[in-house]
A and B are shown apart, each in its own frame.
Chain A
Amino acid sequence: MKSAIHTLTQHPDIYLGNAADAAQSPIERLPLGVKALDTALAGGIPSAGLSRIRCHQGSGEFQLLHPVFAAQRNTGKKVIWLYRHQSINPVWLAKHKLLTDSWLLSPANEQDALWACEQCIRSQACSLIVYSYASLNAKAARRLQVLSKQYQCLLLNIDYNLQTFMSLPVNVDCELYYKDTQWYITLHRVVGSWPKSDIPICNPLPASNDAIITAMRETQSASVSTLTGS
């Protein structure tokens, strides 16, 4: 019941008068499970509001966000995926236990995508929106940031356009990149903490042939040593 009242007190349509200050609580954060990163993020990604991740498509960005998705499963609310050209794989959603709670939206243009995003936030039926339709401009980002904080919704902007960089009014603005066989994250902006560059992280491949290669090498070295011995 406590959380139900908490939802009410956070509702933007309810005027709390003098109790408004008392109702405000410190920012709730969702840790990512990477110690160095969570420390730099002051505990994790804020559970409400807009956060941006910039990276190349297929950099393991959703793998990094897995704890965030796991936190949304028990909310009973929807996870919205807004995208343009590609499609989200339902089997991947099912493997991450997100299939029944997910809706996939692929609007025809960016204006419709922003409209749909705003409707999803306002509906209060969604706990997480993954927006990878296009890069956000400052005006749209400000609007979505205010709305998502008001309606207690987490909006993740996955930006695959690395050509241009524009500073946006977001909670967390980070960049995931690969350099010399190592993955790094640079935090351009973190609400409640300072920016930090080049945080090394572990970002494993979904699968690899390493085990087979190692086994073959061991077999080869064993056969070579046998031949040498004989």
Chain B
Amino acid sequence: MQWLYAHFPSLQLDHFVLEQAEDKQAALVVFCPQHNEILQVSQCASTAGIKRGMGLAQACALLNRIQLIPYSAEVECQQLHLLANQLYRIASDIVLLEPQGIAIKLDPIIHYYHSVDNFVALFHHVLQSTALRYHFASGPSVEAAQVLALAGADTVYLSNAQALIALQNVSLKYTQFTSKQVSQFDRMGIRTLQAVFQIPLEEVGKRFDNALISYLLALKGNKAVPRATFHPKQHFRYQCELPYELEDSVKLLRFLTQPVEQCCEYLVSQNLTTDSLQLTLHMADSPKQHVEVRAGAPMHNAKDWLSLITLKLEQLALTSAIRGFQLRCEHTVVFHATSEHLFAVRFNQHAENMLMGTLLAKLGSDAVITPRVCHDHRQDLHIRHGLPHSGAACEQLPSGQHPCWLLIDPQPLSTQTKIVYGPERIQTGWWDDSAVKRDYFIALSSTGQRLWIFRDHQSNWFVHGYFS
């Protein structure tokens, strides 16, 4: 048996940065007030020297403008379920280890995807599209894969034997042993799993309880702990605490867009549709306000639902400021296709998953790109795709002329051409290191090629693309 485990150490923080944060570069920390302990740290805060496990006073001493997010296991569990819904499209046997872990049984998947590499490539593609930070590892059991992932192995081992060899060097702090048990082992001079495995189980049984023996057997892959597999629910719920109070109901749309899209993705994946969405608004100084958005006919398209929600929010009179909301979709019905379209979409989704996994495994993630348009007039940035969430997706396209082919690095213009259109000046990027000031033209060569050329501020001419 082989399991793949993914651990999301900053699930709540990453979710907050992606969906709610006004300033994504701010120094953010997730803080547990009960234990006065910092649990998750953003890149900016980490650069300032703030680390996990620090107290609030120590963190504030290092950086006085940190933004605190109170830790919520509920938020993490909710995000984990949403992630599981996404992974359920590519894998069947999923086990949730709340609040930060997901395990996937690889054995049945190998037959479906022909090899582990194909699936793992697709698995990374799905997780990278969420822009969450994660560690992963494979192992003979959920427990073994979990320990390796927590230790940051980030490896899918070819065999379970290799995983067990890697497991032996892992420190006990990454295991599920209690702190008391770890200190007991420490007093005996045992600090790695290799040393623990060398002790006969009878001897372990004299000092520790049966639960620890069961855990050790599970770590070695000798005993399978029964676990409930994940099954998507027949309803969708999303809870959100807003980072600040909202007086205007229309401004809520910014926070509702992503949940509604997730809800519709969920409906499509489950072959469901709905004619109503329920929205509960948590108010600052008054009781909860319930809003029901109804459609004339069952729908599962996010754009349609968002346009209805916009209309509803425009008419809504708030009793006080909004602090949070809950989106629910409970009245679902099975989608009865009147044509073969839904069948075709579902069939294509499987075929696409298989193809994407194969391409990623063979060609690598740099060679397989799902294009995105970002909010920038510098065309160079559009082809430096990076991760899907690296640039904000935009519906409004940049104005001006846009060639089909772009040269990754503009080349000096070396052929005789005639300008037929232009100039279009692009002067932007003064806020970052790639400021540009260029006058773009369309030029015609003697062979009829339509070149996209520009003159830089030093009057040098370059070819930047071709109008095909």
User: Most chain-B CB neighbours within 10 Å: which of A85, A88, A126?
Assistant: A88
CA distance A86 to B345 in the complex (A): 31
Is A104 on the interface with B (CB-CB < 8 A)?
yes
Q: How far is the CA of A169 from the CA of B68 in the complex (A)?
A: 66
Partner of B421, one of A77, A94, A205: A205
- Evaluate contact between B340 and A105: CB separation under 8 angstroms: no
Which residues on the B side are within 8 Å of A206 (C-beta)? Answer: 401, 403, 421, 442, 450, 467
- A10 interface hit (Cβ, 8 Å): no
Given contacts A62-B468, A89-B382, A123-B354, contact A3 B340 (CB under 8 A): yes
Decide if A209 touches B402 in the complex (CB within 8 Å): no
Tell me if A105 and B442 are in contact (CB < 8 A): no
Count of A residues near B, CB < 8 Å? 51
Report the nearest B residue to A179, measured CB to CB.
Answer: B448
CB contacts (< 8 Å) of B449 on chain A: these are: 56-59
For the complex, give the distance between the alpha carbons of A62 and B343 in Å.
31
When C-beta atoms are compared, the residue in chain A nearest to B370 turns out to be A103
Interface of chain A, main secondary structure: mixed
Out of B343, B363, B371, name the residue touching A112 (CB < 8 Å).
B363
Given contacts A4-B340, A125-B355, contact A116 B363 (CB under 8 A): yes
**Residues of chain B contacted by A89 (CB below 8 angstroms):** 379, 382-383, 402-406, 465
Q: Are A177 and B448 in contact (CB under 8 A)?
A: yes
Taken together as a complex, chains A and B put the C-alpha atoms of A4 and B343 apart, in Å, by 9
The main secondary structure of chain B at its interface with chain A is mixed
Known: A86-B408, A89-B382, A91-B382. A209 touches B422 (CB 8 A): yes
What is the interface size of chain B, counting residues whose CB is below 8 A from a CB of the partner?
53
A72 CB-CB contact with B under 8 Å:
no
Decide: A60 near B450, CB < 8 A? Known: A89-B383, A123-B354. yes
B206 within 8 A of partner (CB): no
In the assembled complex, the CB of A103 is this many whole angstroms from the nearest CB of chain B, namely: 6
Q: How far is the CA of A127 from the CA of B257 in the complex (A)?
A: 31
Q: In the complex, A177→B447 CA distance in Å?
A: 8
In chain A between 167 and 225, which residues have their CB closer than 8 angstroms to a CB of chain B? Answer: 177-178, 183, 205-209
Q: Which of B359-413 contact A (CB under 8 A)?
A: 359, 362-363, 367-373, 379, 382-383, 385, 397-398, 401-408
B369, B408, B420 — which one has the most chain A CB atoms within 10 A of its CB? B369
Q: Nearest B residue to A162 by beta-carbon distance?
A: B447
Given contacts A58-B405, A116-B359, contact A209 B421 (CB under 8 A): yes
Query: Using a CB–CB distance below 8 Å, which chain A residues touch chain B?
Result: 1, 3-4, 56-63, 76-78, 85-95, 99, 102-108, 112, 115-116, 119-120, 123-126, 158, 177-178, 183, 205-209
* Known pairs A58-B445, A88-B404 / 10 extra A-B pairs, C-beta < 8 Å: A94-B373, A99-B371, A103-B369, A105-B368, A112-B362, A119-B358, A125-B348, A177-B448, A205-B420, A205-B450
